């Protein structure tokens, strides 16, 4: 297969078109190739600043002269003209006539926080309900199931959480990030601090590989002999999650 184009920049994403197209695209993409007649070794079009490739025609010239700001682009037989991705990330778009239009899909990410003061019983593992969505690009949060964020697409995710505790001279505190991976429960991060006579802030973060439908939750425990309270603020309690990329 002839390969004439080395790279196309589309909204800060570098899209390789040519023989290495499949290897260069992220895992999970469905790719269709341009089917040129056997006697035609390449097609030519105009690449616009928006990322669209238009006026594709057989040979070394586009169907119409490229306009100011456009760039002539050559497509060889077998080059990518349509890309489809899982909902929530990567590249989308394209047509089947030889024209191509690619755009960035939102990266799955969300941050949610609690707005109701919580009393945590002594020596009891407690899942933290969350109520307010600060942002959610791909429906990771479901208000009907308020203790968890759910991965909409498979990949590697970064997960973080934060909790502010009331002063308690006798309470040892622990916060955890739990992952529900398929049917398997995993505690993927934990932070413990001893009793303190001051207000205590705890933060925790990790990365984890998830499949679509897997979820993470924020869990806490305190051991003091009595109950202890979690403070509500602009950063407590919070749970955040963001897609980093596909798992290799």
Task: Give a yes or no: residue 2 inside a domain.
Answer: no
Same domain assignment for residues 96 and 205: no
pLDDT digit string, tens, across residues 47-78: 877 777 888 888 888 888 888 878 888 877 66
pLDDT digit string, tens, across residues 12-47: 333 333 333 333 333 344 444 444 444 545 788 888
Q: Point out the domain boundary residue: 77, 104, 131.
A: 104
* 198/196 Cα distance (integer angstroms): 5
pLDDT tens over the chain, length 248 residues: 333 333 333 333 333 333 333 333 333 444 444 444 445 457 888 887 777 788 888 888 888 888 887 888 887 766 655 444 444 444 444 444 444 445 557 899 999 999 988 999 999 999 999 999 999 999 999 999 999 999 999 999 999 999 999 888 788 899 999 999 998 999 999 999 888 777 789 999 999 999 999 999 999 999 999 999 999 988 899 999 999 988 87
State CA 215 to chain mean position distance.
Answer: 13
Same domain assignment for residues 118 and 221: yes
Tell me how many domains the chain contains. 2
Same domain assignment for residues 72 and 136: no
* 215/10 Cα distance (integer angstroms): 31
Residue 181's domain comprises 109-245
Same domain assignment for residues 212 and 95: no
Task: Give a yes or no: residue 146 inside a domain.
Answer: yes
Same domain assignment for residues 46 and 137: no
Task: Give a yes or no: residue 89 inside a domain.
Answer: yes
Which residues contact residue 20 at a Cβ distance below 8 angstroms, ignoring those fewer than 6 apart? none
DSSP single-letter state for residue 37: -
* 104/81 Cα distance (integer angstroms): 16
Task: Give a yes or no: residue 193 inside a domain.
Answer: yes
Residue 74: what are its φ and ψ, rounded to 5°?
A: -105, 135
Q: Point out the domain boundary residue: 89, 104, 119.
A: 104
Q: Point out the domain boundary residue: 72, 104, 136.
A: 104
pTM beyond 0.75: the answer is: no
* 242/152 Cα distance (integer angstroms): 11
């Amino acid at each position: 297969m002839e390969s004439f184009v080395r790279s196309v920049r589309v909204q800060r994403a570098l899209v390789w078109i040519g023989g290495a197209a499949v290897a260069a695209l992220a895992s999970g993409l469905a790719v269709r190739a341009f089917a040129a007649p056997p006697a035609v070794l390449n097609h030519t079009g105009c690449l616009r600043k928006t990322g669209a490739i238009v006026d594709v025609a057989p040979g070394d010239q586009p169907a119409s002269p490229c306009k100011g700001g456009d760039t002539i682009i050559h497509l060889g037989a077998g080059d990518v003209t349509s890309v489809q991705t899982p909902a929530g990330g990567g590249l989308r778009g394209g047509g089947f006539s030889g024209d191509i239009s690619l755009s960035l899909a939102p990266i799955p990410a969300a941050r949610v926080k609690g707005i109701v003061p919580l009393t945590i019983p002594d020596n009891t593992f407690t899942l933290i309900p969350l109520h307010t969505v600060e942002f959610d690009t791909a429906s990771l949060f479901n208000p009907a199931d308020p203790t968890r964020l759910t991965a909409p697409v498979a990949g590697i995710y970064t997960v973080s959480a934060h909790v502010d505790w009331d002063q308690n001279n006798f309470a040892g505190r622990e916060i955890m990030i739990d992952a529900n991976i398929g049917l398997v429960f995993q505690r993927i991060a934990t932070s413990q601090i001893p009793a303190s006579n001051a207000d205590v802030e705890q933060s925790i973060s990790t990365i984890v590989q998830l499949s679509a439908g897997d979820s993470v939750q924020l869990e806490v425990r305190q051991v003091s002999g009595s109950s202890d309270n979690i403070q509500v603020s602009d950063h407590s309690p919070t749970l955040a999650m963001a897609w980093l990329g596909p798992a290799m």
